[in-house]
C-alpha cells in the first residue's frame, strides 16, 4: 500500500516537535510538502525532510500529489482552512479543537462525509494503549461500580506573546488544555454527559481564560470533574473512583513514546502498581489516519461534535472570575 502523501499547513511547534518526525519515520505516511507564509522557513524545514517547500497555504492545496493535509494552525483559523482543504478534495487531519464553533464543527463533519473524505481531529491520547488497559480494569470490576471521574491537564505559563493568550486566535485554557479532560470524561462515561456548572478564571491581564473547572454528570448521577489551565505546575492525569477502589493514571494525555505507563490500582486488599508497555500515540494517530484514508472507512465524528457541544456549554455556563491581584503592574 502506497504511503499517504501529506502536506503540512504551517510550521507550528507541534508539527516540528512531534508530527513531522513521526510522519517521516512511518512507512504509511510521506511528507509531500511543507507550506508556510514565510518561504525561507518552509524551505529550511523542507530541506530537512527532503520534500517540497511551498509559500502560502493556498498553494499547498493546489498540489495534485498532496492527498491529505495536516493543519496545526491557531484554533480560530482551523475552520476556514479545513473547509478549503475539503473543497480541494484533500483529506484532513486538524489539531484540536476542530473549530471554535459547534455549528462550524457540524457543518465541516457533514461536508467531509458528503465528499467521501476523512476528517480527523488530532486528539492523540485517544490512540494510546494505556487507556485500553484502564478501561479493561474498569470493565472487569476491579473497582466495582464507577462513582466518579476526575481529570486534570494543566501546563506552565507560556510567554506573553504566545498565541494561547490571543483571543482573536482562539486562545485560552478551555480550548488549549480543557479539551483533554472533557474528552477523557466522554471516553469513560459516554458522550451523553452534560455540563452542570463551570468556572473560568482570567489572570495576568490576559484577554483569555487562564484556568478553569467544569462539573459534568451522566443521566444516572455519575459525576466528572475537569480541571485545566495554562499557567500552572504541570499535571496530566485522571482517576476513576468506584464503589470498591480507585484507578489512577498519571501522564495520561501527552506521554512521550518511551514513557512506561504505571496504573495505580487501590483497593481494600492493598495497592497494586501495574506497569504497561510504552506506546507511541503520535505514530498510532497517524497510522489510524492513513488507514482510514486508504480503507475508505470514514469516521462518523459524533464524538467530535459532542465534544464541541460540551466545550461550548462550559463556556456558556461558566462563572468568570478576573484575578486582578495577579495582573502585572505598569
Residues serving a catalytic function are 96
How far, CA to CA in Å, does 133 sit from each of 59, 179, 188, 229, 264? 44, 22, 12, 27, 12
CB of 247 within 8 A of CB of 141? no
Consecutive H or E run containing 138: helix 130-139
115: buried, middle or exposed (CB in 10 Å: 19+, 13-18, 0-12)?
A: middle
- Inter-residue contact 252 to 235 (CB < 8 Å): no
Angle at 239 between CA 75 and CA 250, to 5 degrees: 70
- What is the C-alpha to C-alpha distance for residues 152 and 150, in angstroms, rounded to an integer? 7
Q: Are 56 and 81 in contact (CB under 8 A)?
A: no
> Closest Cα to residue 170, out of 290, 64, 80?
80
Cis status, amide bond into 185, omega within 30 of 0? no
Amino acid at each position: 500500500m502506497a504511503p499517504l502523501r501529506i502536506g503540512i499547513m504551517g510550521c507550528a511547534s507541534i508539527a516540528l516537535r512531534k508530527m513531522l518526525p513521526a510522519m517521516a519515520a512511518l512507512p504509511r505516511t510521506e511528507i509531500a510538502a511543507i507550506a508556510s507564509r514565510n518561504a525561507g522557513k518552509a524551505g529550511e524545514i523542507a530541506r530537512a525532510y527532503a520534500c517540497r517547500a511551498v509559500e502560502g497555504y493556498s498553494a499547498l492545496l493546489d498540489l495534485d500529489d498532496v492527498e491529505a493535509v495536516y493543519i496545526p494552525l491557531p484554533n480560530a483559523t482551523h475552520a476556514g482552512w479545513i473547509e478549503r482543504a475539503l473543497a480541494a478534495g484533500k483529506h484532513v487531519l486538524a489539531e484540536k479543537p476542530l473549530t471554535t464553533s459547534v455549528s462550524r464543527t457540524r457543518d465541516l463533519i457533514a461536508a467531509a462525509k458528503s465528499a467521501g473524505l476523512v476528517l480527523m481531529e488530532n486528539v492523540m491520547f485517544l490512540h494510546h494503549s494505556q487507556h485500553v488497559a484502564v478501561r479493561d480494569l474498569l470493565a472487569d470490576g476491579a473497582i466495582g461500580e464507577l462513582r466518579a471521574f476526575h481529570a486534570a491537564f494543566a501546563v506552565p505559563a507560556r510567554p506573553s506573546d504566545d498565541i494561547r493568550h490571543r483571543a482573536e486566535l482562539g486562545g485560552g485554557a478551555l480550548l488549549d488544555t480543557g479539551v483533554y479532560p472533557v474528552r477523557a470524561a466522554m471516553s469513560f462515561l459516554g458522550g451523553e454527559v452534560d455540563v452542570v456548572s463551570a468556572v473560568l478564571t482570567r489572570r495576568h491581564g490576559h484577554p483569555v481564560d487562564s484556568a478553569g473547572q467544569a462539573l459534568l454528570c451522566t443521566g444516572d448521577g455519575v459525576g466528572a470533574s475537569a480541571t485545566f489551565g495554562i499557567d500552572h505546575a504541570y499535571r496530566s492525569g485522571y482517576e476513576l473512583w468506584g464503589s470498591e477502589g480507585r484507578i489512577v493514571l498519571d501522564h495520561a494525555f501527552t506521554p512521550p513514546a518511551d514513557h512506561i505507563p504505571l496504573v495505580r490500582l487501590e483497593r481494600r486488599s492493598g495497592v497494586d502498581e501495574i506497569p504497561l508497555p510504552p506506546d507511541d500515540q503520535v505514530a498510532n494517530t497517524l497510522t489510524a489516519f492513513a488507514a482510514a484514508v486508504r480503507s475508505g472507512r470514514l469516521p462518523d465524528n459524533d464524538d467530535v461534535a459532542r465534544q464541541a457541544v460540551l466545550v461550548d456549554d462550559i463556556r456558556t455556563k461558566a462563572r468568570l472570575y478576573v484575578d486582578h491581584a495577579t495582573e502585572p503592574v505598569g
